Structure 1
Amino acid sequence: MNAERISGVLLHVTSLPSFGGVGDFGPAAYGFVDFLAAAKQRLWQVLPLSPTGYGSSPYSALSAFAGNPLLISLEFLVRDGWLGADRLESVAGGLPGHQGPCDFGTAFAKKIPLIEEAAANFLDRASQEDRLRFQRFSQDNLSWLTDYAIYNVLRRRFNYLSWNEWPPEYAGRQPDAMTRLMTDSGRELAIEQVVQFFFNEQWAALRAHCAERNILILGDVAIFVSYDSADVWTHPEIFELDESRHPIRVSGVPPDYFSASGQRWGNPLYKWSLLQENGFDWWVARIRRALTLYDEVRLDHFRGFEAYWSIPAEELTAVNGQWIKAPGHALFNRLKEIFGELPFIAEDLGLITKEVDELREYFGMPGMRILQFGFADRGGHLYLPHRYVPNTVVYTGTHDNNTTLGWWRDDATKSERANVQTYLHRIENDNDIVWAMIKAAAGSVATICIFPLQDLLHLGSEARMNRPAAAVGNWTWRFSLDALQPDLAAQMAAIMEMTDRDGYQAPTEGLAAGGPTDEASLRVREGSQT
């Protein structure tokens, strides 16, 4: 991992105030990156960029490899000539605008057809140079792109039913059925592939804009994949499925801070022994894809790489499960053989054992600390700055927590409030708590410090991104068009300067070890001696 002290902002792409009802890679994204640069932030953390299924959760994806088409900017498709401006104007009344929460349903119904129309235009009139770039993309992603395109075409054909409810010849990927589909639906499949090409091109351009401003992208890889996904449909042999291809056991976590009955996520579990026999080739491909999208990667539910909670599929809650050992050490050794040093952050929240810590530390991965968790009781003190080590990523909160202001107003107990007053300083109003938490995180020894944008904007519970275990109402928050003001960027930049997270490299030539590191501090020291 990067050993330099840096800070960044957690904001999922869908939370941008983009045209079309869902945040995307368009102009609002570039404006946000410019705000990060002005605020001397060095990192942008996003949630998984995968296509989403029911509930629009980025952690419930239709593919571990593909990109979410809703993140493609219609404005940039017009700019690049793949969509006429008149087409955008003709449906503008039916598309949600820049303001308000995400409207995934309307965006899917109105925006996806326009993206597919643009893809068809690409197939019909792309230049030779454009076609060569598309061919290179297709070849580089051959291991997943064709299967994902087939999956998506069939899913639409069968009214978005889960793949196990398709006719048996398609659910079982019978060779004759697959051949017939590829022969009869070639253009549809090509359109799906071009859509993924658009995603890749726009994301690569946005990443280049970040790189020009010395901003890294921290992505997110969910440990499990959805049952209704191209991954399970394409590779049923690597998951714990019965002869009818239904899950035998599923994922989740036992009762914890978030839920008294645990969380039954329902993802099929891996056949880890088979994956290991095959050199973890599926995971190698997955991480290779992630490293083409991101500079660094957060491994969600890192605990599951050491041992995972296995729940019989027939159970309705996560209570009656058991911990099963996973070959995390062998997996990360294999990944290290392929990719060298692993730019991973371990999401190590929840019930963490000595074995999980040892696995993380062996591979040098920083763990996470959530400042909100530190004030409940003495057991939570490991989340407070005086307990950190440098190889740590500190957050004021995450997408699964309330905002700092929402926590203080709505969730913090009387004793937590008293502990905050004792540990930080006198909190006299809501504005104080947010800045106090930001400064405490920034001033800690943790190498990386990350703030949800909601905290920088001093927003309350109404801006919460996700409530774990809640089936509806999540992932919809978007910030307003006028939220990112220059004075906020200046305030954050000043904090970054004072906590040495701004990327400044002090001159050292000719200065004694342990002495002042720049002219200003040298003058201060000289002045104190006269």
Structure 2
Amino acid sequence: MKFKRAAGIILHPTSLPGPDGIGDLGPEAYRWINFLAESGCKLWQVLPLGPTGYGDSPYQCFSAFAGNPYLISPALLLEDGLLRRSDLTDRPEFNPIRIDYGLAINWKLKILDRAYENFKHQKNPTLNNAYRRFVEEEADWLNDFALFMAIKEANGGVSWDHWPKELRTRQPQAIDQFKQSEADRIQRHAFRQFLFFRQWLDLKAYANQKNILIIGDIPIFVAYDSADAWSNPELFYLDEEGKPTVVAGVPPDYFSPTGQLWGNPLYKWEIHRQQNFRWWIRRMQATLRLVDIVRLDHFRGFAGYWEVPFGMPTAEIGRWVKGPGKELFNAIREALGDLPIIAEDLGVITPDVVELRDSFNLPGMKVFQFAFTTDPLDPFLPHNYETNCVAYTGTHDNDTALGWYQSAPEKERDFIRRYLARSGEDISWDMIRAVWSSVAVFALAPMQDVLGLGNEARMNLPGRASGNWCWRLHPEAFNPVILKRLKEVNYLYARTDIERTAQTELPPNYPL
């Protein structure tokens, strides 16, 4: 799909301000959309929107189809009559600029349970009918997800490989018995999904009305502890007990001498091929209902991926395995049409990855922070960009621009100062200008860079088990100074709507 020149900001909804310990889809999200629109930005990039599990990572979700219930806005539940003001009087005191996930999750679940009890006892035909329609229309994934979450909850939250065998292996009699005895628990999880989708789709519609496109994110692999792996074991390399036989990772490289052991189950691509990639088509279709453009994380894995035997302590021992390649993307395109996809093609990229990306005309990614370890021929330097790419100052996995600059070797700091012809005193905005002024069709920066924040505002440090995904915007961050700077840079580099003034025609026989 051909994209139009534009710019935008990376900000996950959890980072929005608000009184309930974690950003949500309520009033501050609408205020955020207004800020983007007024600044001339056309893009809002988010991380995966699924229900988070261990480590609170949006890249390790309990489902590839469900939404994150912690993003549901209590303020909007008040408007729907699903909460009373008295339901919010015991709200804890939260840190306004950092998420305490334990405290926030306990509060959100308490609120959602109150909303569910109120829903069951109120007489609201409009809401009841909307809920029934949602359950019917989303049954394809919702039934398995709500059942998975209910069984998980009933077993103390442990991973599904520790459930009783009859539930772990989905034995029909045990499943039917659980459905009967725990019907209310199952419906409660379905109701949370109803609330998430209702609020998110309203917010997306508002963004689209403001000419804002949302860029979403699909991790190539799903979490092992997910409804996807539990309800579709035939699609993954799992043994008879449901344990993985091989898992995902990346091999040792310059940055990691032992590689990265991700631990996600790997796909049995031959089974997906036999089913004409039905599960993947459903996944892409479901995601494109929530967002306008999809960033495919770890795109190189579709060409070839690193397979590690289960139980290995590191990713050092493994092998490269051929991915589904063009077959998958042809099947998706045949089912869904043109692909509004950004290929996350970072890391060690081999010719087969480039060929796969280019054969579907997918824009790859350029991260400006990566440009200063070599020389002026570095592909991450803006003068080497092609138009069909998406340029970033940095991503959620990098340090902030300021944090990177402050910790970079002096050789790299000297290179970027010479390249930008700047002192480095305003490095975040110097980098934003360089990316915005490039020929890249999209230019994006994390909100932390727009605010000129340092390492304290970093979103994620890969390999760190805890303490990630916690950063939040200060309630007063949407200030006129930042708005004006964004509006100016979007105008100067033609990344917003511009009404070109009519040019005077040259008179006849004018000497050129």
Report the TM range for the smaller structure's normalisation: over 0.9
* Cα drift, residue 95 of structure 1: 5.3
Residue aligning to 1:342: 339
Structure 1 runs of 4+ off > 6 angstroms? none
Secondary structure at 1:289's aligned position in 2?
helix
Secondary structure at 1:417's aligned position in 2?
helix
Selected match of 2:204 from 185, 204, 207? 207
* Cα drift, residue 79 of structure 1: 1.7
TM-score, normalised to structure 2's length? 0.97
Q: Alpha carbons of 1:230 and 1:381: their partners in 2 closer, same or farther (altered >3 Å)?
A: same
Secondary structure at 2:379's aligned position in 1?
helix
Number of aligned pairs? 511
Distance (whole Å) between structure 2 residues aligned to residue 263 and residue 106 of structure 1: 30
Residue aligning to 1:221: 218
**Once the two structures are superposed, what CA deviation does each residue of 1:125-163 show, in whole Å capped at 9, x if it has no partner?**
252222222222222211110111111111111111111
Which aligned pairs between 1:229-268 and structure 2 lie closer than 5 A?
229-256=226-253, 258-268=255-265
Secondary structure at 2:378's aligned position in 1?
helix
Secondary structure at 1:7's aligned position in 2?
strand
Which aligned pairs between 1:360-375 and structure 2 lie closer than 5 A?
360-375=357-372
Q: Which amino acid aligns with 2:302?
A: F
Aligned: 1:108 with 2:118: no
Selected match of 1:96 from 94, 97, 102? 94
Where structure 1 has 5 or more consecutive residues not aligned to the other structure, the ranges are 507-517
Q: Which amino acid aligns with 1:315?
A: M
Selected match of 1:135 from 132, 136, 141? 132
Distance (whole Å) between structure 1 residues aligned to residue 97 and residue 495 of structure 2: 33
Aligned: 1:438 with 2:432: yes
Distance (whole Å) between structure 2 residues aligned to residue 139 and residue 477 of structure 1: 37
CA contact (8 A) 2:169 2:241 kept: no
Distance (whole Å) between structure 1 residues aligned to residue 361 and residue 132 of structure 2: 38
CA contact (8 A) 1:17 1:480 kept: yes
**Once the two structures are superposed, what CA deviation does each residue of 1:144-202 show, in whole Å capped at 9, x if it has no partner?**
10111111111111111111101111111110111111112222212211110000010
Distance (whole Å) between structure 1 residues aligned to residue 456 and residue 506 of structure 2: 47
**Once the two structures are superposed, what CA deviation does each residue of 1:345-376 show, in whole Å capped at 9, x if it has no partner?**
00000010111011011111100000010111
Distance (whole Å) between structure 2 residues aligned to residue 159 and residue 79 of structure 1: 33
Secondary structure at 1:383's aligned position in 2?
coil
Which aligned pairs between 1:293-304 and structure 2 lie closer than 5 A?
293-304=290-301
* Cα drift, residue 328 of structure 1: 2.2
Q: Alpha carbons of 1:52 and 1:524: their partners in 2 closer, same or farther (altered >3 Å)?
A: farther
* Cα drift, residue 505 of structure 1: 4.8
Distance (whole Å) between structure 1 residues aligned to residue 358 and residue 341 of structure 2: 12
Distance (whole Å) between structure 1 residues aligned to residue 410 and residue 505 of structure 2: 47
Q: Alpha carbons of 1:496 and 1:379: their partners in 2 closer, same or farther (altered >3 Å)?
A: closer
Selected match of 1:402 from 399, 402, 410? 399
Q: Alpha carbons of 1:249 and 1:524: their partners in 2 closer, same or farther (altered >3 Å)?
A: farther
CA contact (8 A) 1:60 1:226 kept: yes
Residue aligning to 1:306: 303
Q: Alpha carbons of 1:19 and 1:437: their partners in 2 closer, same or farther (altered >3 Å)?
A: same
Selected match of 1:377 from 367, 374, 380? 374
Selected match of 1:493 from 471, 487, 497? 487
Distance (whole Å) between structure 1 residues aligned to residue 194 and residue 2 of structure 2: 30
Residue aligning to 1:421: 417
Distance (whole Å) between structure 2 residues aligned to residue 379 and residue 251 of structure 1: 34
TM-score, normalised to structure 1's length? 0.93
* Sequence identity percentage: 44
CA contact (8 A) 2:377 2:384 kept: no
Q: Alpha carbons of 1:113 and 1:223: their partners in 2 closer, same or farther (altered >3 Å)?
A: same
Aligned: 1:325 with 2:322: yes
> In angstroms, what is the RMSD of aligned CA positions?
1.9
Q: Which amino acid aligns with 2:460?
A: N
